């Protein structure tokens, strides 16, 4: 039985401490790879490049896309100046990711965004971010947990009219590893879930079959959590329509 190929958009990592110090590596965290595999897909890593023709070729070969987490989004991308609590940014990776997103959406590829993947998906279409959760009015939940990655630490409230509700059901508990969060929602999207302090936890593209993004890290939970595995199963199901 033919399986869909799922491309995980990659990051660039600067090597500092070994014989290759100063070099950059294209990478994704292995939990993304394992989550796609256990859900029934064929995972591949898509390295960051700035050649539009090559990016289009990369995306055209895929049946579905995961926009992975990573560094902070460059605030200049959403018309803001860098603030004191902004973390490390990599503008080249942002440029690649936004190009890949636009091409994938135009090709009607199913997309699952995760953590920064949700943030940059929103920014790609004109939305904005809080550069740190301390800048978000009313934020009181600890969104960067100390517990192990597979452990859920706070509740999300899921919109019952959303695709996310179709996939994972009612309110559930998730893990949390972020210090930025969506501020203004791009017109093309709707909020699918929030934390109890109002932080946006999931968004969906209004006029596409499956462009869904979550702020937490389901790939870190999927091996032991059936609810989180359902997100990847749904991505595989949607991607299978492109075989």
Catalytic, out of 143, 154, 217, 238: 217
- By the 8 A CB rule, do 159 and 205 touch? no
Question: Does 219 qualify as catalytic in the annotation?
Answer: yes
**pTM (two decimals):** 0.96
* Angstrom distance (rounded) from CA 209 to CA 190: 13
Q: Measure Cα distances from 231 to 32, 65, 114, 123, 236 in Å.
A: 12, 13, 11, 22, 9
Catalytic, out of 188, 201, 204, 219: 219
Question: Does 139 qualify as catalytic in the annotation?
Answer: no
pLDDT at residue 17, rounded to an integer: 80
Question: Does 161 qualify as catalytic in the annotation?
Answer: no
pLDDT at residue 3, rounded to an integer: 97
Token digits of residue 15: 């090597």
Q: Walk along the chain (243 residues) and give the pLDDT tens digit of each residue.
A: 799 999 999 999 878 887 877 788 899 999 999 999 999 999 999 999 999 999 999 999 999 999 999 999 999 999 999 999 999 999 999 999 999 999 999 999 999 999 999 999 999 999 999 999 999 999 999 898 999 989 989 999 999 999 999 999 999 999 999 999 999 999 999 999 999 999 999 999 999 999 999 999 999 999 999 999 999 999 999 999 989
Element (H, E) at 165: helix 163-168
pLDDT at residue 24, rounded to an integer: 86
Token digits of residue 19: 């014989």
pLDDT at residue 14, rounded to an integer: 79
Closest C-alpha to 194, from 74, 185, 223: 185
Token digits of residue 110: 């199913």
pLDDT at residue 85, rounded to an integer: 98
- By the 8 A CB rule, do 238 and 62 touch? no
Provide the strand spans (E) within the chain: 5-9, 11-14, 24-27, 42-46, 64-67, 111-114, 129-130, 154-158, 172-174, 181-182, 189-195, 200-205, 211-214
- By the 8 A CB rule, do 203 and 156 touch? no
- By the 8 A CB rule, do 141 and 196 touch? yes
Catalytic, out of 115, 178, 204, 238: 115
What is the residue extent of each domain of the chain? 5-240
pLDDT in tens, 178-215: 999 999 999 999 999 999 999 999 999 999 999 999 99
The CATH number of the structural domain formed by 5-240 is: 3.40.50.880
């Amino acid at each position: 039985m033919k399986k869909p190929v799922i491309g995980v958009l990659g990051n660039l990592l600067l090597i500092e401490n070994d014989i290759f110090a100063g070099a950059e590596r294209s990478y994704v965290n292995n939990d993304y790879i394992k989550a796609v595999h256990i859900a029934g897909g064929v995972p591949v890593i898509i390295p960051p490049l700035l050649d539009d023709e090559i990016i289009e070729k990369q995306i055209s070969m895929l049946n579905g896309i995961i926009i992975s987490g990573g560094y902070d989004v460059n605030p200049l991308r959403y018309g803001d100046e860098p603030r004191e609590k902004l973390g490390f940014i990599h503008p080249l990776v942002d440029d690649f990711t936004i190009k890949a997103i636009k091409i994938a959406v135009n090709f009607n590829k199913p997309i699952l965004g995760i953590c920064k993947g949700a943030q940059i998906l929103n920014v790609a279409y004109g939305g904005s971010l809080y550069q740190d959760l301390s800048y978000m009015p009313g934020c009181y939940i600890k969104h960067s947990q100390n517990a192990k990655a597979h452990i859920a630490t706070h509740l999300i409230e899921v919109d019952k009219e959303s695709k996310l509700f179709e996939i994972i059901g009612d309110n559930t508990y998730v893990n949390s590893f972020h210090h930025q969060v969506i501020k203004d929602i791009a017109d093309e999207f709707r909020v699918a879930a929030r934390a109890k302090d109002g932080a946006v936890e999931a968004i969906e593209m209004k006029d596409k079959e499956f462009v869904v993004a979550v702020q937490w890290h389901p790939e870190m939970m999927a091996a032991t959590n059936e609810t989180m595995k359902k997100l990847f199963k749904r991505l595989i199901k949607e991607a299978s329509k492109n075989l």
